[in-house]
C-alpha cells in the first residue's frame, strides 16, 4: 500500500504507475504554488478566528509555508508525482516540517474548492498584468498615429482602394479595438474575483467557517453563493479565453496588414530587422516572422477556447476529474497573450512609415471619387445622380490611364456643368482628409485630438 496518498486507506492495492502518470497534474499545476500557499495562509487565519485552529498551529503553518515558498522560489523543492498535484505536494512538505499542525490545515476545505480558488487567484493577477500590457501596446500605437497624423494612405474596402485616410487614423482604429479588449478583461476580472473556498468538496462543511473573513484576506470582491456551482464553475476561464481570443483576432488582423504593407507590392512600411528573419536560400529576403507567428498563434488561443467549452459541455454537477484539463489551455493562453503583447509593443515602436509610397498608392485607385460626388451634391445635384456622373468620369479616367485630378477642367465639365475650378481642391488626397474634420473622421486635426485623448487616458492608467 502506498501510504503517501491521503485517500489510500480505502483501497486494497496501490495505483499503477501508468495511472499515476495519466492522472497526475503536478507537472503543470506546480505553477500555482504561490497562490496555493496564499490561499492556505488565509484559510488557516480564518480557522483560527473561527476557533477551529489554535494560535500555535497557525504560527507553525505560517512559518512552515514561508520556508516552503522560499524553497520554491530558489528551486530547492522536488515535486513528487506520487503526491499527484501541487496541493498535496505542499501539504506533505508542510507536514514533514511542522507535524500535526500541517495535517490540520485541510480542515473545512477540499482540493475541489482549493484548486478553484488557486486558479482564480492566479488568473486575477495575470489579468491585471495583461491589462497593463494592452495599454502599453495602445500607447505605442497612439504615438505612431500622432507622428503620422497627416500621412495619407489608401483606405480599403474589399481590399480595393476606397477613400484616402490618414495612417494615424488607421492606427487609432486598432487602439479602439484594444480599448474594448481592455474593457472586456476588466469586466471578466470581476467574475474571476469571486471566492469558491468554503464550498469544500461540493456541499460546504460542518465546521463554523467564516467565508467573508477568508474573502477579505484574499482580496476577493464576492463569494460564490452556491457550493455546487463554486467547485464546478469554469465559466470564468472560458470567459477569459474568449476575451483573449478576441484580442488575438485583433492582433492577427493588424499582423495581416503589416505583412501586406511590408511586401514590395505595397511598400507602405518597414519593420525593424530585429523582428524579421532571412531565407536560407534567397539572400534578398526579409521575412516578417513576428506578425506571421502572431497570426498563427491566434488560432492556438481560439483552439483553447473551443477546447474549454467542449470540456465543460457535458459535465454533471459537481466537480469531475475532467476539470484537471482546464489548466494547460488556460496557462498556455495566458503565456501566449503576455508574450505576444510584449513583443508586439516593441515591434510597433520599430515600424517605419513610407509616406511617398502610400500617397502613390492613393493615386492609383480613384480614391477621391466620393469627394467629387460630394462636391456635386454641395452644388445642388442629388447624390444618386452625382454617383452616376462620377462613375462615368472614373471610367473615362481609367480608359485614359490617369487619375481624376489629372483630367482637364473641360473634360470634367463635360460630365457636369456644375464643375468649376475649385474642383481640384477636393480631388487631392490631402483635401479629402481635411474635408472629414468631424468626430471620428480621418482629418489630421481629428487624429491629433483622438491621439491626445488616448495618450492622456493611457498614461494616467499606466502610472496608477
Give catalytic residues, as residue numbers: 158, 279
CA distance 446 to 442: 6
Give how far Cα 274 sits from Cα of 162, 263, 282, 294, 298, Å: 33, 17, 18, 16, 22
Helix crossing, 444-463 with 111-147: angle to 10°? 140
Question: No. of H helices and E strands in the chain?
Answer: 20, 6
CA distance 404 to 390: 9
- Number of Cβ within 10 Å of residue 431's Cβ equals 16
238 contacts 306 by C-beta, under 8 angstroms? no
Total count of residues recorded for the chain:
464
214 contacts 166 by C-beta, under 8 angstroms? no
Residue 157 main-chain phi, psi, to 5 deg: -130, 140
**Alpha helices in 323-382, H assignment, sequence order:** 327-348, 355-362, 369-378
Contacts for 312-319: CB closer than 8 Å, 24+ residues apart: 312/234, 312/238, 315/232, 317/202, 317/228, 317/229, 317/232, 318/112, 318/201, 318/202, 318/227, 318/228, 318/231, 318/232, 319/112, 319/201, 319/202, 319/231, 319/232
- Nearest one of 399, 120, 386 to 234, comparing CA atoms: 120
CA distance 188 to 128: 11
Helix crossing, 167-192 with 111-147: angle to 10°? 160
Helix crossing, 33-49 with 86-98: angle to 10°? 60
149 contacts 447 by C-beta, under 8 angstroms? yes
51 contacts 230 by C-beta, under 8 angstroms? no
Amino acid at each position: 500500500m502506498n501510504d503517501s496518498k491521503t485517500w489510500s486507506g480505502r483501497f486494497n492495492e496501490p495505483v499503477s504507475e501508468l495511472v499515476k502518470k495519466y492522472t497526475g497534474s503536478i507537472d503543470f499545476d506546480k505553477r500555482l504554488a504561490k497562490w496555493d500557499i496564499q490561499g492556505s495562509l488565509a484559510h488557516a487565519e480564518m480557522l483560527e478566528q473561527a476557533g477551529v485552529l489554535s494560535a500555535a498551529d497557525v504560527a507553525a503553518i505560517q512559518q512552515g509555508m514561508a520556508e516552503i515558498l522560499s524553497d520554491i522560489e530558489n528551486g530547492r523543492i522536488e515535486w513528487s508525482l506520487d503526491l499527484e498535484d501541487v496541493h498535496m505536494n505542499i501539504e506533505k512538505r508542510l507536514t514533514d516540517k511542522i507535524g500535526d499542525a500541517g495535517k490540520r490545515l485541510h480542515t473545512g476545505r477540499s482540493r475541489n474548492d482549493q484548486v478553484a480558488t488557486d486558479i482564480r487567484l492566479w488568473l486575477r493577477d495575470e489579468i491585471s498584468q495583461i491589462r497593463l500590457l494592452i495599454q502599453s501596446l495602445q500607447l505605442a500605437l497612439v504615438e505612431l498615429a500622432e507622428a503620422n497624423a497627416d500621412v495619407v494612405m489608401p483606405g480599403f474596402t474589399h481590399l480595393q482602394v476606397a477613400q484616402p485616410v490618414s495612417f494615424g487614423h488607421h492606427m487609432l482604429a486598432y487602439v479602439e479595438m484594444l480599448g474594448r479588449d481592455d474593457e472586456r478583461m476588466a469586466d471578466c476580472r470581476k467574475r474571476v474575483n469571486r471566492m469558491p473556498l468554503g464550498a469544500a468538496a461540493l456541499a460546504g462543511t460542518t465546521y463554523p467557517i467564516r467565508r467573508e473573513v477568508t474573502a477579505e484576506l484574499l482580496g476577493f470582491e464576492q463569494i460564490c453563493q452556491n457550493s455546487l456551482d463554486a467547485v464546478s464553475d469554469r465559466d470564468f476561464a472560458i470567459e477569459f479565453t474568449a476575451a483573449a481570443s478576441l484580442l488575438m483576432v485583433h492582433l492577427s488582423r493588424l499582423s495581416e496588414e503589416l505583412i501586406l504593407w511590408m511586401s514590395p507590392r505595397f511598400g507602405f512600411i518597414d519593420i525593424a530587422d530585429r523582428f524579421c528573419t532571412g531565407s536560407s536560400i534567397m539572400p534578398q529576403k526579409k521575412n516578417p516572422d513576428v506578425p506571421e507567428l502572431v497570426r498563427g498563434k491566434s488560432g492556438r488561443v481560439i483552439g483553447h477556447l473551443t477546447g474549454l467549452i467542449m470540456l465543460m459541455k457535458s459535465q454533471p454537477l459537481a466537480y469531475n476529474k475532467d476539470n484537471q484539463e482546464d489548466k494547460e489551455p488556460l496557462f498556455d493562453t495566458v503565456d501566449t497573450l503576455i508574450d505576444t503583447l510584449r513583443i508586439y509593443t516593441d515591434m510597433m515602436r520599430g515600424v517605419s512609415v513610407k509616406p511617398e509610397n502610400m500617397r502613390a498608392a492613393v493615386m492609383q485607385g480613384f480614391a477621391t471619387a466620393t469627394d467629387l460626388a460630394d462636391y456635386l451634391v454641395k452644388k445642388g445635384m442629388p447624390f444618386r445622380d452625382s454617383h452616376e456622373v462620377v462613375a462615368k468620369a472614373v471610367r473615362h479616367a481609367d480608359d485614359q490611364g490617369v487619375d481624376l485630378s489629372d483630367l482637364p477642367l473641360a473634360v470634367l465639365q463635360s460630365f457636369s456643368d456644375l464643375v468649376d475650378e475649385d474642383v481640384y481642391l477636393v480631388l487631392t488626397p490631402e483635401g479629402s482628409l481635411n474635408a472629414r474634420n468631424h468626430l471620428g473622421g480621418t482629418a489630421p486635426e481629428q487624429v491629433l485630438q483622438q491621439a491626445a485623448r488616448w495618450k492622456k487616458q493611457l498614461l494616467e492608467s499606466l502610472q496608477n
